[in-house]
C-alpha cells in the first residue's frame, strides 16, 4: 500500500478530503446533486514538520479546527442556499461559532474521557495501592466509556449515516493507496478500515496515556487531575507519531500494533451505499490527482 498523503473525515451527508493545503467538502444535497466546496487552509510553518511530537501537537489542533469548519460548512448546506453560504465561510460570526464549539467540545471530552475515569478509578484506592496498576485501571475505564459512547450514539439514524460516510472516506483512500483506479466498483470493493483513522488515533491516545499517567506523583487529587489535562497535548503528539508511522509503514510489528484501532473502527465506520461513495470520490477528485499518483506508482490498471 502506497502513502498518498490525503486524509479526511465524514461530515453531515458528505465527506471532507484534504491534501496539503487543499480542503474539499462534498455534500449530497436534498435534490440529489453533489455540491463540492473547495478552499485552502493556512500554510503551516516549515519548521513544525521537522520536529517530532511538536508536529503532532500542531497537526492535532489544526485538524480539529479544519474538521470543525468542515462540519459547519456541511450543515449550512441544509438551511440555506449553497451559493449564498460561500460568501459566509470567512465571516467573523462563523469563526466565533467554530471557536466556541471547539472549546465546548474539548471541555466535554476532557470531562468525559479524563475526569470521569480518573474519579471512578479513585474508588479502587481501597484495594489497589500500586500507582501503576491504578493508572492501568483508569485507562481501562476510559476505554470502556469511549466504546459505550460510540456504540450508543451509533444507534441514532443521523450518526449511523455519518459512520457510513466515514466508511466511504476510508474506502476511497484505500482504493487509491492499493493502486486501483478511483471508480465506483473499485471503491465499493475496498476496505472501510484504515490505519491513519482518527478512531485509531484516539485508541493510541488512550493507551499512551496509561503509561504517561503512571509517572504522575502527587498526594493531591486535583493536582493529579490537572497534570493529566496538561499532559494531553504531549500524549496527542506522541500518538500522532505512531499513527504517522503506521500510515507509511508495512512493517508487520507496526501492523500488529495497529490492529486494536482497526477493530474499533467496526463501530465508527459502516458500509456506505453507492451514492455515498460517489460523494467521497467527488471530494477526493477536488483535491487530489489520483491518476498522476497511480502513474508514479507504476501505472493505472483499468481492470482492477
Residues 254-264 pLDDT 10s? 888 888 888 99
Query: Tell me: the pLDDT tens digits for 162-211?
Result: 999 999 999 999 999 999 999 999 999 999 999 888 888 888 998 899 88
For residue 302, tell me if it sits in a domain: no
Whether the pLDDT of residue 301 is over 60: the answer is: no
Helix axis angle, 198-213 to 221-248, nearest 10°? 140
Backbone φ and ψ for 39, nearest 5 degrees, come out as -155, 170
Query: In the prediction, which pLDDT does 192 show?
Result: 95
For residue 303, tell me if it sits in a domain: no
Cα(293)–Cα(199) distance, integer angstroms: 26
Please count the structural domains in the chain. Answer: 1
Query: In the prediction, which pLDDT does 88 show?
Result: 47
For residue 146, tell me if it sits in a domain: yes
Q: What is the pTM of this model?
A: 0.85
Domain span at 168: 6-296
Confidence of residue 89 (pLDDT cuts 50, 70, 90): very low
For residue 219, tell me if it sits in a domain: yes
For residue 173, tell me if it sits in a domain: yes
Query: Tell me: the pLDDT tens digits for 6-50?
Result: 999 999 999 999 998 899 999 999 899 999 999 998 888 888 888
For residue 206, tell me if it sits in a domain: yes
Q: In this structure, what C-alpha cell is assigned to residue 262?
A: 482497526
Amino acid at each position: 500500500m502506497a502513502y498518498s498523503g490525503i486524509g479526511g473525515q465524514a461530515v453531515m451527508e458528505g465527506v471532507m478530503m484534504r491534501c496539503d493545503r487543499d480542503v474539499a467538502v462534498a455534500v449530497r444535497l436534498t435534490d440529489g446533486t453533489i455540491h463540492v466546496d473547495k478552499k485552502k487552509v493556512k500554510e503551516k510553518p516549515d519548521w513544525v514538520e521537522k520536529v517530532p511530537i511538536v508536529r503532532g501537537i500542531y497537526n492535532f489542533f489544526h485538524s480539529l479546527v479544519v474538521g470543525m469548519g468542515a462540519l459547519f460548512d456541511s450543515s449550512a448546506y441544509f438551511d440555506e442556499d449553497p451559493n449564498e453560504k460561500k460568501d459566509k465561510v470567512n465571516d467573523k460570526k462563523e469563526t466565533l461559532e467554530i471557536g466556541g464549539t471547539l472549546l465546548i467540545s474539548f471541555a466535554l471530552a476532557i470531562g468525559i474521557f479524563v475526569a470521569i475515569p480518573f474519579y471512578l478509578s479513585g474508588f479502587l484506592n481501597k484495594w489497589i495501592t500500586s500507582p501503576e496498576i491504578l493508572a492501568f485501571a483508569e485507562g481501562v475505564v476510559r476505554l470502556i466509556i469511549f466504546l459505550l459512547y460510540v456504540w450508543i450514539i451509533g444507534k441514532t439514524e443521523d450518526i449511523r449515516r455519518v459512520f457510513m460516510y466515514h466508511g466511504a472516506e476510508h474506502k476511497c483512500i484505500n482504493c487509491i493507496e492499493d493502486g486501483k483506479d478511483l471508480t465506483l466498483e473499485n471503491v465499493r470493493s475496498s476496505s472501510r478500515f484504515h490505519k491513519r483513522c482518527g478512531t485509531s488515533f484516539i485508541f493510541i491516545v488512550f493507551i499512551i496515556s496509561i503509561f504517561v499517567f503512571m509517572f504522575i506523583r502527587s498526594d493531591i487529587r486535583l493536582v493529579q487531575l490537572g497534570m493529566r489535562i496538561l499532559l494531553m497535548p504531549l500524549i496527542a503528539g506522541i500518538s500522532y507519531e505512531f499513527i504517522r508511522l503506521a500510515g507509511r509503514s508495512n512493517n508487520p510489528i507496526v501492523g500488529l500494533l495497529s490492529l486494536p484501532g482497526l477493530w474499533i473502527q467496526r463501530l465508527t465506520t459502516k458500509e456506505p451505499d453507492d451514492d455515498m461513495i460517489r460523494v467521497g470520490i467527488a471530494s477526493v477528485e477536488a483535491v487530489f490527482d489520483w491518476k498522476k499518483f497511480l502513474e508514479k506508482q507504476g501505472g493505472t490498471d483499468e481492470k482492477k
